[in-house]
Structure 1
Amino acid sequence: MASAPLPDGEDPRAAFMAGARAAIPYAAVGLLLSASFGVVARDAGFPIVAAIVMSAIVFAGSAQFTAVAILVGGGTAGAAIAAAALMNSRFLPMGIALGPSLPGSAPLRAAQGQTVVDASWAMANRGDGTFDRWFLFGSTAPQYVCWVAGTTLGAFGGDLLGDTSRFGLDAMYPMFFLALLIAEIKSRRAAGVALAGSVLALALVELVPAGVPVLAASLVALWGLRRPKQAA
Protein backbone atom coordinates (compact mmCIF):
# COMPACT_ATOMS: atom_id res chain seq x y z
CA MET A 1 0.00 0.00 0.00
CA ALA A 2 1.41 3.40 -1.02
CA SER A 3 2.59 5.75 1.70
CA ALA A 4 0.67 8.97 2.13
CA PRO A 5 2.25 12.43 1.81
CA LEU A 6 3.35 13.87 5.12
CA PRO A 7 1.80 17.07 6.52
CA ASP A 8 3.70 20.35 6.48
CA GLY A 9 6.51 20.61 9.02
CA GLU A 10 7.50 16.94 8.85
CA ASP A 11 11.11 15.85 8.30
CA PRO A 12 12.01 16.30 4.59
CA ARG A 13 14.17 13.16 4.71
CA ALA A 14 11.26 11.12 6.05
CA ALA A 15 9.01 12.48 3.32
CA PHE A 16 11.63 11.72 0.66
CA MET A 17 12.06 8.13 1.85
CA ALA A 18 8.29 7.64 2.09
CA GLY A 19 7.97 8.76 -1.52
CA ALA A 20 10.79 6.46 -2.62
CA ARG A 21 9.12 3.46 -0.98
CA ALA A 22 5.75 4.30 -2.49
CA ALA A 23 7.26 4.49 -5.98
CA ILE A 24 8.95 1.08 -5.99
CA PRO A 25 6.14 -0.67 -7.96
CA TYR A 26 6.10 2.12 -10.55
CA ALA A 27 9.88 2.03 -10.83
CA ALA A 28 9.82 -1.73 -11.43
CA VAL A 29 7.30 -1.37 -14.25
CA GLY A 30 9.29 1.52 -15.68
CA LEU A 31 12.42 -0.65 -15.76
CA LEU A 32 10.70 -3.20 -18.00
CA LEU A 33 9.07 -0.57 -20.18
CA SER A 34 12.26 1.42 -20.65
CA ALA A 35 14.14 -1.77 -21.51
CA SER A 36 11.68 -2.30 -24.33
CA PHE A 37 12.26 1.30 -25.40
CA GLY A 38 16.00 0.70 -25.49
CA VAL A 39 15.49 -2.32 -27.75
CA VAL A 40 13.00 -0.52 -30.00
CA ALA A 41 15.28 2.52 -30.29
CA ARG A 42 18.24 0.33 -31.28
CA ASP A 43 16.11 -1.53 -33.82
CA ALA A 44 15.08 1.86 -35.22
CA GLY A 45 18.73 2.75 -35.82
CA PHE A 46 19.39 4.91 -32.77
CA PRO A 47 22.97 4.78 -31.47
CA ILE A 48 23.19 3.35 -27.96
CA VAL A 49 24.29 6.67 -26.49
CA ALA A 50 21.45 8.54 -28.23
CA ALA A 51 18.82 6.19 -26.79
CA ILE A 52 20.23 6.52 -23.26
CA VAL A 53 20.58 10.31 -23.47
CA MET A 54 17.01 10.59 -24.75
CA SER A 55 15.72 8.71 -21.70
CA ALA A 56 17.91 10.75 -19.35
CA ILE A 57 16.72 14.08 -20.76
CA VAL A 58 13.15 13.43 -21.88
CA PHE A 59 12.14 10.87 -19.21
CA ALA A 60 8.66 10.45 -20.69
CA GLY A 61 7.64 7.08 -22.08
CA SER A 62 4.74 8.19 -24.26
CA ALA A 63 6.76 11.00 -25.84
CA GLN A 64 9.78 8.79 -26.47
CA PHE A 65 7.85 5.91 -28.03
CA THR A 66 5.86 8.35 -30.16
CA ALA A 67 8.97 10.11 -31.45
CA VAL A 68 10.65 6.82 -32.35
CA ALA A 69 7.51 5.52 -34.08
CA ILE A 70 7.27 8.65 -36.22
CA LEU A 71 10.95 8.59 -37.19
CA VAL A 72 10.81 4.89 -38.04
CA GLY A 73 7.75 5.52 -40.19
CA GLY A 74 9.64 8.08 -42.25
CA GLY A 75 8.38 11.19 -40.49
CA THR A 76 10.47 14.28 -39.98
CA ALA A 77 12.21 15.30 -36.78
CA GLY A 78 9.87 18.29 -36.60
CA ALA A 79 6.81 16.03 -36.65
CA ALA A 80 8.36 13.79 -33.99
CA ILE A 81 9.09 16.76 -31.71
CA ALA A 82 5.64 18.25 -32.20
CA ALA A 83 3.90 14.96 -31.43
CA ALA A 84 6.07 14.39 -28.35
CA ALA A 85 5.27 17.91 -27.13
CA LEU A 86 1.55 17.26 -27.48
CA MET A 87 1.88 13.98 -25.61
CA ASN A 88 3.56 15.86 -22.73
CA SER A 89 1.17 18.83 -22.73
CA ARG A 90 -0.57 17.33 -19.69
CA PHE A 91 2.38 18.44 -17.57
CA LEU A 92 1.45 22.10 -18.03
CA PRO A 93 -1.71 22.02 -15.86
CA MET A 94 0.03 19.62 -13.47
CA GLY A 95 2.87 22.12 -13.07
CA ILE A 96 0.46 25.00 -12.54
CA ALA A 97 -1.26 23.07 -9.75
CA LEU A 98 2.08 22.18 -8.15
CA GLY A 99 3.65 25.63 -8.43
CA PRO A 100 2.26 27.22 -5.24
CA SER A 101 3.67 24.32 -3.17
CA LEU A 102 7.23 24.96 -4.39
CA PRO A 103 9.38 27.56 -2.61
CA GLY A 104 12.03 29.84 -4.07
CA SER A 105 12.44 31.95 -7.19
CA ALA A 106 10.79 31.16 -10.51
CA PRO A 107 13.91 29.40 -11.91
CA LEU A 108 14.20 27.32 -8.72
CA ARG A 109 10.53 26.31 -8.86
CA ALA A 110 10.96 25.42 -12.53
CA ALA A 111 13.92 23.21 -11.66
CA GLN A 112 11.94 21.46 -8.92
CA GLY A 113 9.06 21.00 -11.35
CA GLN A 114 11.25 18.85 -13.58
CA THR A 115 10.69 16.02 -11.11
CA VAL A 116 7.01 15.76 -12.00
CA VAL A 117 5.86 12.46 -13.47
CA ASP A 118 2.30 11.17 -13.44
CA ALA A 119 2.50 8.76 -10.50
CA SER A 120 4.65 11.05 -8.34
CA TRP A 121 2.39 14.04 -8.90
CA ALA A 122 -0.70 12.04 -7.95
CA MET A 123 0.87 10.48 -4.85
CA ALA A 124 2.30 13.79 -3.59
CA ASN A 125 -1.13 15.44 -3.72
CA ARG A 126 -2.33 16.01 -0.15
CA GLY A 127 -5.94 16.28 -1.31
CA ASP A 128 -6.36 19.90 -0.25
CA GLY A 129 -4.79 21.55 -3.28
CA THR A 130 -1.23 21.37 -1.91
CA PHE A 131 1.61 18.98 -2.62
CA ASP A 132 4.39 17.45 -0.53
CA ARG A 133 7.42 18.39 -2.61
CA TRP A 134 9.85 16.11 -0.76
CA PHE A 135 7.49 13.17 -1.21
CA LEU A 136 7.37 14.12 -4.91
CA PHE A 137 11.15 14.22 -5.17
CA GLY A 138 11.48 10.89 -3.38
CA SER A 139 8.92 9.10 -5.52
CA THR A 140 10.44 10.33 -8.76
CA ALA A 141 14.03 9.40 -7.86
CA PRO A 142 13.74 5.59 -8.17
CA GLN A 143 11.52 5.92 -11.23
CA TYR A 144 14.15 8.04 -12.97
CA VAL A 145 17.01 5.71 -12.05
CA CYS A 146 15.10 2.66 -13.27
CA TRP A 147 14.00 4.40 -16.47
CA VAL A 148 17.56 5.26 -17.47
CA ALA A 149 18.90 1.89 -16.28
CA GLY A 150 16.24 0.00 -18.22
CA THR A 151 16.98 1.93 -21.39
CA THR A 152 20.68 1.17 -20.95
CA LEU A 153 19.99 -2.54 -20.51
CA GLY A 154 17.70 -2.64 -23.52
CA ALA A 155 20.03 -0.65 -25.74
CA PHE A 156 23.09 -2.73 -24.89
CA GLY A 157 21.22 -6.03 -24.72
CA GLY A 158 19.29 -5.65 -27.95
CA ASP A 159 21.99 -7.39 -29.98
CA LEU A 160 22.15 -10.24 -27.46
CA LEU A 161 18.38 -10.68 -27.38
CA GLY A 162 18.12 -11.04 -31.13
CA ASP A 163 14.46 -11.55 -32.01
CA THR A 164 12.76 -9.53 -29.28
CA SER A 165 9.38 -11.09 -30.04
CA ARG A 166 10.54 -14.23 -28.23
CA PHE A 167 10.52 -12.26 -24.96
CA GLY A 168 7.43 -10.19 -25.60
CA LEU A 169 9.34 -6.90 -25.67
CA ASP A 170 7.87 -6.07 -29.07
CA ALA A 171 4.38 -6.48 -27.60
CA MET A 172 5.12 -4.01 -24.78
CA TYR A 173 5.40 -1.21 -27.32
CA PRO A 174 1.79 -1.24 -28.61
CA MET A 175 0.46 -2.46 -25.26
CA PHE A 176 1.94 0.63 -23.62
CA PHE A 177 -0.19 2.91 -25.78
CA LEU A 178 -3.23 0.70 -25.31
CA ALA A 179 -2.81 0.89 -21.54
CA LEU A 180 -2.57 4.68 -21.70
CA LEU A 181 -5.73 4.83 -23.75
CA ILE A 182 -7.71 2.51 -21.50
CA ALA A 183 -6.64 4.44 -18.41
CA GLU A 184 -8.04 7.66 -19.87
CA ILE A 185 -11.41 6.26 -20.96
CA LYS A 186 -13.52 7.02 -17.91
CA SER A 187 -16.70 8.31 -19.56
CA ARG A 188 -18.71 8.08 -22.75
CA ARG A 189 -17.29 11.40 -23.83
CA ALA A 190 -13.71 10.18 -23.39
CA ALA A 191 -14.54 7.01 -25.30
CA GLY A 192 -16.03 9.09 -28.13
CA VAL A 193 -12.95 11.29 -28.32
CA ALA A 194 -10.65 8.23 -28.34
CA LEU A 195 -12.71 6.62 -31.11
CA ALA A 196 -12.74 9.81 -33.18
CA GLY A 197 -8.98 10.23 -32.85
CA SER A 198 -8.34 6.59 -33.75
CA VAL A 199 -10.58 6.70 -36.82
CA LEU A 200 -9.00 9.94 -38.03
CA ALA A 201 -5.47 8.60 -37.54
CA LEU A 202 -6.26 5.37 -39.40
CA ALA A 203 -7.88 7.31 -42.25
CA LEU A 204 -4.80 9.48 -42.66
CA VAL A 205 -2.16 6.74 -42.51
CA GLU A 206 -2.15 6.11 -46.27
CA LEU A 207 -2.70 9.74 -47.25
CA VAL A 208 -0.20 11.86 -45.35
CA PRO A 209 3.45 11.64 -44.20
CA ALA A 210 4.33 9.66 -41.08
CA GLY A 211 3.71 11.59 -37.90
CA VAL A 212 0.77 13.60 -39.20
CA PRO A 213 -1.82 10.97 -38.14
CA VAL A 214 -0.47 11.06 -34.57
CA LEU A 215 -0.59 14.86 -34.56
CA ALA A 216 -4.14 14.84 -35.88
CA ALA A 217 -5.28 12.35 -33.23
CA SER A 218 -3.58 14.45 -30.54
CA LEU A 219 -5.43 17.55 -31.72
CA VAL A 220 -8.70 15.63 -31.47
CA ALA A 221 -7.79 14.80 -27.87
CA LEU A 222 -7.11 18.48 -27.12
CA TRP A 223 -10.45 19.39 -28.71
CA GLY A 224 -12.06 16.87 -26.41
CA LEU A 225 -10.80 18.81 -23.37
CA ARG A 226 -13.18 21.69 -24.05
CA ARG A 227 -15.89 22.20 -21.49
CA PRO A 228 -19.33 21.07 -22.63
CA LYS A 229 -21.90 23.83 -22.87
CA GLN A 230 -24.27 23.95 -19.96
CA ALA A 231 -27.89 23.47 -20.77
CA ALA A 232 -29.93 26.67 -20.43
Structure 2
Amino acid sequence: MTTIWNDLLNLFDPRLCQLCKKTLLPEERELCLHCLCDLPRTYYHRRDDHPLLPIFAGISSFRHVTAFLFYREGGCVQSLIHSFKYRGNKQLAERLGRMAALELKADGFFHDVDVCVPVPLHRRKQRTRGYNQAEWIARGLAEVYHYPVDTQTLVRAVDTDTQTHKSAYERRMNVAEAFRLSRPEQFADKHVLLVDDVLTTGATLLSCIDCLMRIPRISISVFTLAFTM
Protein backbone atom coordinates (compact mmCIF):
# COMPACT_ATOMS: atom_id res chain seq x y z
CA MET A 1 0.00 0.00 0.00
CA THR A 2 2.85 2.41 0.87
CA THR A 3 4.49 1.84 -2.52
CA ILE A 4 1.23 2.47 -4.37
CA TRP A 5 0.63 5.67 -2.38
CA ASN A 6 4.18 6.91 -3.12
CA ASP A 7 3.68 6.16 -6.83
CA LEU A 8 0.49 8.21 -6.83
CA LEU A 9 2.20 11.12 -5.08
CA ASN A 10 5.04 11.05 -7.59
CA LEU A 11 2.53 11.05 -10.42
CA PHE A 12 0.94 14.34 -9.31
CA ASP A 13 3.94 15.86 -7.51
CA PRO A 14 7.07 14.21 -8.94
CA ARG A 15 10.31 14.23 -6.96
CA LEU A 16 12.86 15.95 -9.19
CA CYS A 17 16.62 16.30 -8.97
CA GLN A 18 17.53 19.78 -7.73
CA LEU A 19 19.97 20.25 -10.61
CA CYS A 20 18.98 18.34 -13.75
CA LYS A 21 15.23 18.21 -12.89
CA LYS A 22 14.96 14.56 -13.87
CA THR A 23 12.63 12.36 -11.83
CA LEU A 24 14.43 10.83 -8.87
CA LEU A 25 14.55 7.10 -8.32
CA PRO A 26 12.95 5.85 -5.08
CA GLU A 27 16.35 5.49 -3.38
CA GLU A 28 17.56 8.97 -4.44
CA ARG A 29 17.12 12.07 -2.29
CA GLU A 30 17.33 15.70 -3.50
CA LEU A 31 19.93 14.89 -6.18
CA CYS A 32 20.18 12.09 -8.71
CA LEU A 33 23.21 9.83 -8.61
CA HIS A 34 24.63 11.37 -11.78
CA CYS A 35 24.52 14.92 -10.38
CA LEU A 36 25.90 13.76 -7.03
CA CYS A 37 28.92 12.22 -8.74
CA ASP A 38 29.47 15.32 -10.89
CA LEU A 39 29.58 17.83 -8.02
CA PRO A 40 32.91 19.76 -8.16
CA ARG A 41 34.74 18.44 -5.10
CA THR A 42 37.88 20.17 -3.81
CA TYR A 43 39.48 17.15 -2.10
CA TYR A 44 41.43 19.71 -0.04
CA HIS A 45 41.47 17.35 2.95
CA ARG A 46 43.89 15.16 0.98
CA ARG A 47 46.36 18.00 0.38
CA ASP A 48 48.90 19.80 2.54
CA ASP A 49 49.13 22.95 0.40
CA HIS A 50 45.59 24.02 -0.47
CA PRO A 51 44.52 27.72 -0.64
CA LEU A 52 42.42 27.71 2.54
CA LEU A 53 45.43 27.16 4.80
CA PRO A 54 46.92 30.69 4.48
CA ILE A 55 43.62 32.21 5.65
CA PHE A 56 44.08 30.64 9.08
CA ALA A 57 47.88 30.67 9.24
CA GLY A 58 49.39 31.79 12.53
CA ILE A 59 46.42 30.86 14.72
CA SER A 60 47.97 28.79 17.48
CA SER A 61 44.87 26.79 18.35
CA PHE A 62 43.97 26.02 14.73
CA ARG A 63 44.02 22.40 13.52
CA HIS A 64 42.37 21.64 10.16
CA VAL A 65 40.28 23.23 7.43
CA THR A 66 38.58 21.95 4.32
CA ALA A 67 35.75 22.83 1.96
CA PHE A 68 33.76 20.13 0.24
CA LEU A 69 32.87 21.80 -3.08
CA PHE A 70 33.99 24.59 -5.39
CA TYR A 71 31.56 27.50 -5.66
CA ARG A 72 31.39 29.37 -8.94
CA GLU A 73 29.00 32.17 -9.89
CA GLY A 74 26.16 30.68 -11.90
CA GLY A 75 27.32 27.11 -11.25
CA CYS A 76 25.55 24.09 -9.84
CA VAL A 77 26.84 24.61 -6.30
CA GLN A 78 25.48 28.15 -6.23
CA SER A 79 22.11 26.75 -7.29
CA LEU A 80 22.15 24.21 -4.45
CA ILE A 81 23.19 26.77 -1.84
CA HIS A 82 20.52 29.23 -2.95
CA SER A 83 17.96 26.42 -2.67
CA PHE A 84 18.66 25.81 1.01
CA LYS A 85 19.67 29.36 1.95
CA TYR A 86 16.85 31.33 0.35
CA ARG A 87 14.16 28.85 -0.70
CA GLY A 88 13.63 26.87 2.49
CA ASN A 89 15.17 23.55 1.42
CA LYS A 90 16.98 22.85 4.68
CA GLN A 91 16.85 19.07 4.07
CA LEU A 92 19.20 19.61 1.12
CA ALA A 93 21.73 21.30 3.43
CA GLU A 94 21.57 18.30 5.77
CA ARG A 95 21.90 15.89 2.87
CA LEU A 96 25.01 17.63 1.53
CA GLY A 97 26.54 17.79 5.00
CA ARG A 98 25.97 14.07 5.41
CA MET A 99 27.45 13.29 2.01
CA ALA A 100 30.55 15.37 2.77
CA ALA A 101 30.96 13.65 6.12
CA LEU A 102 30.84 10.18 4.56
CA GLU A 103 33.69 11.07 2.23
CA LEU A 104 35.77 12.89 4.86
CA LYS A 105 35.31 10.16 7.46
CA ALA A 106 36.38 7.50 4.96
CA ASP A 107 39.72 9.36 4.73
CA GLY A 108 40.06 9.72 8.51
CA PHE A 109 39.54 13.51 8.48
CA PHE A 110 38.04 15.32 11.52
CA HIS A 111 38.14 12.04 13.46
CA ASP A 112 39.03 13.63 16.81
CA VAL A 113 36.49 16.48 16.92
CA ASP A 114 34.51 16.81 20.17
CA VAL A 115 31.69 19.16 19.16
CA CYS A 116 30.26 20.68 15.99
CA VAL A 117 29.40 24.41 16.05
CA PRO A 118 27.49 26.02 13.17
CA VAL A 119 28.30 29.68 12.56
CA PRO A 120 25.30 31.36 14.18
CA LEU A 121 22.84 33.75 12.59
CA HIS A 122 21.56 36.73 14.52
CA ARG A 123 18.23 35.84 16.13
CA ARG A 124 16.40 38.41 13.96
CA LYS A 125 17.71 36.92 10.73
CA GLN A 126 17.08 33.36 11.91
CA ARG A 127 13.52 34.28 12.86
CA THR A 128 12.95 35.72 9.39
CA ARG A 129 14.51 32.76 7.56
CA GLY A 130 13.12 30.18 9.96
CA TYR A 131 16.37 28.26 10.40
CA ASN A 132 20.16 28.52 10.19
CA GLN A 133 21.47 26.76 7.08
CA ALA A 134 24.86 26.16 8.73
CA GLU A 135 23.10 24.27 11.52
CA TRP A 136 21.50 21.92 9.01
CA ILE A 137 24.84 21.28 7.34
CA ALA A 138 26.24 20.55 10.82
CA ARG A 139 23.38 18.14 11.50
CA GLY A 140 24.36 16.18 8.40
CA LEU A 141 27.97 15.99 9.57
CA ALA A 142 26.93 15.02 13.08
CA GLU A 143 24.69 12.22 11.84
CA VAL A 144 27.72 10.49 10.30
CA TYR A 145 30.38 11.38 12.88
CA HIS A 146 28.06 11.22 15.92
CA TYR A 147 29.25 14.62 17.16
CA PRO A 148 27.01 16.72 19.38
CA VAL A 149 25.88 19.96 17.70
CA ASP A 150 26.10 23.04 19.94
CA THR A 151 24.00 26.07 18.94
CA GLN A 152 24.02 27.82 22.32
CA THR A 153 27.63 28.60 23.24
CA LEU A 154 28.68 30.76 20.28
CA VAL A 155 26.14 33.54 19.74
CA ARG A 156 25.83 36.22 17.06
CA ALA A 157 25.32 39.39 19.07
CA VAL A 158 25.35 41.90 16.20
CA ASP A 159 23.04 41.78 13.19
CA THR A 160 25.62 42.69 10.54
CA ASP A 161 25.04 43.79 6.95
CA THR A 162 25.35 41.21 4.20
CA GLN A 163 28.93 40.42 3.20
CA THR A 164 28.07 40.29 -0.52
CA HIS A 165 29.94 42.86 -2.64
CA LYS A 166 32.24 43.89 0.24
CA SER A 167 36.02 43.84 -0.04
CA ALA A 168 38.07 41.51 2.15
CA TYR A 169 38.87 44.38 4.53
CA GLU A 170 35.23 45.54 4.66
CA ARG A 171 34.09 41.97 5.38
CA ARG A 172 36.54 41.69 8.27
CA MET A 173 35.45 45.03 9.77
CA ASN A 174 31.78 44.21 9.23
CA VAL A 175 31.91 41.16 11.51
CA ALA A 176 34.50 42.35 14.02
CA GLU A 177 33.12 41.73 17.52
CA ALA A 178 29.93 40.28 16.03
CA PHE A 179 30.06 37.14 18.18
CA ARG A 180 30.07 36.40 21.90
CA LEU A 181 30.18 33.36 24.16
CA SER A 182 27.27 32.48 26.42
CA ARG A 183 28.88 29.57 28.30
CA PRO A 184 32.56 29.30 27.36
CA GLU A 185 33.35 26.60 29.94
CA GLN A 186 31.55 24.14 27.63
CA PHE A 187 34.44 24.26 25.15
CA ALA A 188 37.46 24.23 27.48
CA ASP A 189 39.87 21.43 26.43
CA LYS A 190 37.64 20.63 23.43
CA HIS A 191 38.30 20.28 19.70
CA VAL A 192 35.59 22.44 18.10
CA LEU A 193 34.56 22.10 14.45
CA LEU A 194 33.17 25.38 13.07
CA VAL A 195 30.72 24.82 10.20
CA ASP A 196 29.51 27.29 7.56
CA ASP A 197 28.01 27.17 4.09
CA VAL A 198 30.44 29.18 1.93
CA LEU A 199 33.97 30.45 2.56
CA THR A 200 35.03 33.49 0.55
CA THR A 201 37.58 35.59 2.45
CA GLY A 202 37.10 33.80 5.78
CA ALA A 203 36.13 37.02 7.60
CA THR A 204 33.14 35.56 9.44
CA LEU A 205 35.00 32.41 10.46
CA LEU A 206 38.00 34.43 11.65
CA SER A 207 35.71 36.57 13.78
CA CYS A 208 34.22 33.39 15.30
CA ILE A 209 37.73 32.07 15.97
CA ASP A 210 38.78 35.36 17.62
CA CYS A 211 35.89 34.87 20.02
CA LEU A 212 36.51 31.18 20.65
CA MET A 213 40.21 31.66 21.34
CA ARG A 214 39.34 33.25 24.67
CA ILE A 215 38.56 29.72 25.88
CA PRO A 216 41.42 27.87 27.62
CA ARG A 217 43.10 25.04 25.70
CA ILE A 218 40.60 25.01 22.85
CA SER A 219 41.41 23.50 19.45
CA ILE A 220 39.55 24.73 16.37
CA SER A 221 38.93 23.26 12.92
CA VAL A 222 36.75 24.54 10.08
CA PHE A 223 34.45 22.88 7.56
CA THR A 224 32.58 24.75 4.87
CA LEU A 225 30.34 23.21 2.29
CA ALA A 226 31.86 25.33 -0.47
CA PHE A 227 34.78 27.61 -1.26
CA THR A 228 34.50 30.57 -3.64
CA MET A 229 37.24 30.40 -6.24
TM-score (norm 2): 0.23
> Quick check: which has more Rg, 1 or 2?
1
In terms of fraction of residues, the more strand-rich structure is 2
The one of the two structures with greater contact order (alpha-carbon pairs below 8 A, sep at least 6) is: 1
In terms of fraction of residues, the more helix-rich structure is 1
TM-score (norm 1): 0.23
